[in-house]
A and B are shown apart, each in its own frame.
Chain A
Amino acid sequence: MAHPAETPVHHGAHHHEDPGWVRRILFSTDHKVIAMQYMFTGMALALLAGFFAYVFRMQMAFPGMEVPFYGLVTPNRYNVLITNHGAIMIFWVAMPVLIAAFGNFLIPLMIGCDDMVFPRINRLSYQIFFLSAVVLLISFFVEGGAFGGAWTIYPPLSAKAEYNLTPLGSSIFLVAVALEFVAFLLGGINFVTTAMNSRAPGMKLYDVPIVVWMIVVASILFMASVGPLIAGAVMLFMDQQIGTAFFDPNRGGDPVLWQHLFWFFGHPEVYVVLLPALGIVAEIITVFSRKKLFAYKTVLYTTFGTGVLSFTVWAHHQFVAGIDPRMANIFTVTTLLISVPIAEMCFVYIATLYGGSITLSTPMLWALAFLGEFLIGGVTGIFLGASGADIYLHDTYFVLAHFHYTFVPIAIIGTFAGVTFWFPKMFGRMMNDTLGKLHFWITIIAFNAIFIPLFVTGAAGDHRRIYDYSHFPDLAALQPLREFATIALLFMLAGQVIFLWNFFASLMWGEKAEKNPWRSNTLEWTTESPPPHGNWPADALPTVYRAPYEYSHPDRKEDYWPQNAPA
C-alpha cells in the first residue's frame, strides 16, 4: 500500500540489473535509506559543530592564541562560531538524527508495515533538509561572512546589516532555518499518518512501542509550534531585505515580538527532541532489565500532558527581556508545573528497573546515563524557572550548563544509546562492546568535567557569548575553571574517534548479527538484519497479539514474548 507503483517490493534484492547507486541511494524512497541519509548528514554536521565548540572553547580558555587547525579567533569569528554551533546542533543534528533518522527507521519497522505512507514526500523531506544544510554552509562563504547574532536571531541586531555587519549571512541563515522547518513539516506529516494508519493487524494504540508514540507526539508538537516562527522568519527576512519594519522600534515595530514568536516554537522544540530520546531509553531499559515498562499508560498520558504544557512556558526565556513583569508570574507557575510530568516520567523509568535482571551492555549504559545526567538538567531548570533567581542567572553560564545537561543527554547520549542498540538491525553486524564501553566512559566523564565547572562560573557571574573575559576584573578568578572545561572538551572530542572507528570498523568487519540479538519483543527484531526493501516478505507482514513490553511473563518459559508470537 505504501509503495509507489514503480517500486515493487524487493526491487533491489532480486533484480539482476542494478539501477545504479545514484538511483538506489540518492533517490531511494525506502524509509531505511532515508533514515541513514538523515543519520549520516547529522553525524557529519555534528563533527563540524563539535569542531566549532573546540575552537571557541580554546579561545575562551587561552584568549588570543592561534588555535591549532583554525588560527586566530577574532570577536566576529567567535560570534559566528557560537551562533552556528548552537543552530547546527539543534536544527541539523538533534532533529535529523533523533526525529528523522530514528523516526524513519523505526516507525515502519516497529508498527509492522513495509514503508512510510508517503514515500516520495519522505524523500522530498530529506532533499529539502540536505538543501537547507548546503544553504547554511554557503553562508560562511558570502561577502561579510556567516551570521553571528546568536541562534536566537534577536532583532534589531539580526535585522539590520549596519548592526550585525553580515548583510547576506543573516538572511541566508534565516532561509536555511526556514527550509529545515519545511523538511520537518513534510517528515512530521509522514510520521503521524504512518503511525495512525499503517499499524500491523492486531496492533491497538496501547500496543504501539513508546518510542513510536514519542516521535509521533514530538512531530505534532513541532508542527503545531513552528507556524508562528515561520511567519516571524518571513517578517524578519523582509525587514532585512526590503526594509519593512515589523521588528524595528524606530518605525513602529517591536523587537520583543520576535522573541515571543521564536520561543513559542523554541520551548516546545526542547520537547520535540527530548521525547524521541526518552522513547529510545524506554525501549532499551525494558530490554536490558527484562522488565515490562512500569505503567505504560502513565508514560503515555504524561507525554501528552508534557506536550500540552510545553506550549505555555515559552516566556520564561524572557523574564528580564522587557515583558510586563506581572506576566512573568504566570510563566513561573507553568514552568515549575512542567517539572511534575517530567519528574513523573523519570520516576517511572527508574521504577522499571525494580525487580529487573539488568545487563550493563553498551546501549544500556547509555540509556541509564541518559536518566542519571538528564536529572541534573531537570533540577537545574528549577533555578531558572523560578523568576526571582532568574533575574541573576539569566544569560549566564548557569543557563548554558543547564541546557547542555538537557541537550547532551538528548542529542549525544540518547543518540549513542539508539545507535548502539539498533546498529545490528541497521547494518546486520554487531558493534564491538569493549570499544563501546571505553567510548562510553570517556564521553560521560569528560562531559561532566566540562559542564559542572560551568555551573560554577555561571553562578559566579560569567555571562554568555563573551570571547574574552579579561575585560571583566570581577571574573578574572574564574579562568582556571574555564581552562579545565576546555581541556575536558578536548578529551570528550578525542573520545569520539573511538566511536567513529568502532562504527565504521564494525560496519565492515563486525560479527554478523542475528535477527534478534537482544531477545527483544518489538516487531523490528522479527525481520532480517538488515531488513530487505519492504521490510518483510510481502505475504508475511507481521500480525500483533500483545503489548510491546511483555518481558519475564510468569506464564512463559522464555523471558520475552515477541509481539507477533501467536498466543
Chain B
Amino acid sequence: MFHLIERWIPSASTYSGDIDFVFSMIFWIVGAWFLATELVFFWLILRFRKRDGVKAQYITGELKSEKQWVHWPHMAVLAFDVVILFFAVKVWYDVKQDLPPAQETVRVIAQQWAWSFVHPGPDTLLDTADDIKTVEELHVKVGTLYHFKLESRDVLHSFSVPVFRLKQDVIPGRVITGWFEATQTGKYDIQCAEICGIGHALMPGRIVIETPEQHTAWMASQSPISVAALDLPRAAQE
C-alpha cells in the first residue's frame, strides 16, 4: 500500500523508501479526495438533469448556510496540505538539507554526452594516486555512506539514479555535494534528467552496487598502475 513506486522499480537506498512513502501517502489522500469529488460531481449531473416542468433552484451561494458546503471541504484541503507538507519537508530535509558524514566520496563529472566517475580507490580517499576513473560505470559498496561531488564540464545535466529516488542537477562552475547509501546490490540505470543537447538520450550510465568483497575484487581488476600506486597516498599522509 505504501510501496506504489516499488511495483515498477526497485528501492535501493536508505531514503528511497521514505520518498516512496510520501508518494504513496499523497496518492491515497488525494486519490480519496479525487474520487469523492468526482462522485459528487457525477451524482449532481445525473440527479439534476433537466426534467419537464421542474425549474432550477435559485441559490446565490452568498448565505453562510450555503457557503459552508464549500467552506468545510476547503478547510479539509488545507488540513491535508499541512499533513503532506510535514512529511514532504521531513524527507526533503533528510535527503537534501542534511549531509551525514561520509565514509567515502566519489566525484561525478558530466559532460556532453557522457558520465565519468572518480572512485577513491583502495585507500578510500579521493584525489590520491590510487583513484580509479571510469566512464559510464559507477561502482559503490552496499551499506556505505557516500558523498558525491557533482561537476559539469559544459551545460546543465542532472544526476538521476531512479533506484535511489535521487536526482540533482549538475551546474557548470559549481561543485554540488550530496549523499546516498545503497541498501541492496545490483546493476541499475543512471540517467541524465536535464536536457543537455542532441546526445541527451545517449548518456546513460550504470551504477554497480557491490558487496565489499566484490568491490575490492573490482578495484583489483582495474589498471595495474593504480594498484601499484596503492601505498603512495598512505606514505604521503605520514
Q: How far is the CA of A472 from the CA of B48 in the complex (A)?
A: 51
Query: Do A328 and B174 touch across chains, with their CB atoms under 8 A apart?
Result: no
Contacts of B174 in A (CB 8 A): 249, 322
Query: Do A156 and B198 touch across chains, with their CB atoms under 8 A apart?
Result: no
Residue of A150, A163, A290, A297 touching B112 (CB-CB under 8 A): A163
Contacts of B197 in A (CB 8 A): 79, 149, 157, 163-165
Q: How far is the CA of A337 from the CA of B84 in the complex (A)?
A: 11
| A142 close to B (CB within 8 Å) | no
Contacts of B201 in A (CB 8 A): 75, 465-469, 471
Q: How far is the CA of A375 from the CA of B32 in the complex (A)?
A: 12
Q: How far is the CA of A165 from the CA of B200 in the complex (A)?
A: 13
Query: Do B154 and A347 touch across chains, with their CB atoms under 8 A apart?
Result: no
- Within A55-80, the residues touching B (CB, 8 Å) are 74-76, 79
- Within A66-106, the residues touching B (CB, 8 Å) are 74-76, 79
| B218 close to A (CB within 8 Å) | no
Residue of B23, B61, B87, B112 touching A295 (CB-CB under 8 A): B61
| B188 close to A (CB within 8 Å) | yes
Contacts of B208 in A (CB 8 A): none
Residue of B41, B81, B89 touching A350 (CB-CB under 8 A): B41
Q: A154-B156, A294-B61 are known contacts. Are A387 and B92 too (CB-CB below 8 A)?
A: yes
| A24 close to B (CB within 8 Å) | no
Residue of A150, A351, A383 touching B23 (CB-CB under 8 A): A383
A76, A79, A352, A559 pick with most chain B CB within 10 angstroms: A79
- Within A372-403, the residues touching B (CB, 8 Å) are 372, 375-376, 379-380, 382-383, 386-389, 391-396
| B1 close to A (CB within 8 Å) | no
| A445 close to B (CB within 8 Å) | no
Query: Do B88 and A355 touch across chains, with their CB atoms under 8 A apart?
Result: no
| A336 close to B (CB within 8 Å) | yes
Query: Do A559 and B62 touch across chains, with their CB atoms under 8 A apart?
Result: no
Instruction: Report the nearest A residue to B40, measured CB to CB.
Output: A350
Instruction: Report the nearest B residue to A256, measured CB to CB.
Output: B171
Residue of B33, B48, B155 touching A356 (CB-CB under 8 A): B48
Contacts of A376 in B (CB 8 A): 34
Could you tell me how many residues of chain A have their Cβ less than 8 Å away from some Cβ of chain B? 97
Query: Do B37 and A350 touch across chains, with their CB atoms under 8 A apart?
Result: yes
Query: Do A474 and B188 touch across chains, with their CB atoms under 8 A apart?
Result: yes
- Within B47-85, the residues touching A (CB, 8 Å) are 48-51, 54-62, 66-67, 69-70, 73-74, 77-78, 81, 84-85
Query: Do A382 and B26 touch across chains, with their CB atoms under 8 A apart?
Result: yes
Contacts of B154 in A (CB 8 A): 156, 163
- Within A282-330, the residues touching B (CB, 8 Å) are 289-298, 319-322, 325-326, 328-329
Query: Do B33 and A340 touch across chains, with their CB atoms under 8 A apart?
Result: no
B201 to chain A, nearest CB (A): 4
| B95 close to A (CB within 8 Å) | yes
A157, A333, A352 pick with most chain B CB within 10 angstroms: A157
Instruction: Report the nearest B residue to A80, measured CB to CB.
Output: B198
Residue of B5, B44, B58, B202 touching A392 (CB-CB under 8 A): B5
A289 to chain B, nearest CB (A): 7
Query: Do A156 and B155 touch across chains, with their CB atoms under 8 A apart?
Result: yes
Instruction: Report the nearest A residue to B95, measured CB to CB.
Output: A391
Residue of A255, A388, A469 touching B18 (CB-CB under 8 A): A388
Listed from nearest, the 3 A-B pairs whose CB atoms lie closest are A249-B173, A388-B91, A355-B57
Apart from A357-B56, A372-B38, A375-B37: 19 A-B pairs, beta carbons within 8 A: A157-B155, A165-B198, A290-B55, A290-B56, A320-B169, A328-B92, A328-B96, A332-B85, A353-B41, A356-B48, A368-B41, A375-B34, A380-B30, A391-B92, A392-B166, A467-B201, A474-B188, A552-B55, A559-B55
Interface residues, chain A, with chain B CB atoms under 8 Å away: 74-76, 79, 148-150, 154, 156-157, 163-165, 249-250, 255-256, 289-298, 319-322, 325-326, 328-329, 332-333, 336-337, 339-340, 343-344, 346-348, 350-360, 368, 371-372, 375-376, 379-380, 382-383, 386-389, 391-396, 456, 459-461, 463-469, 471-475, 551-554, 559
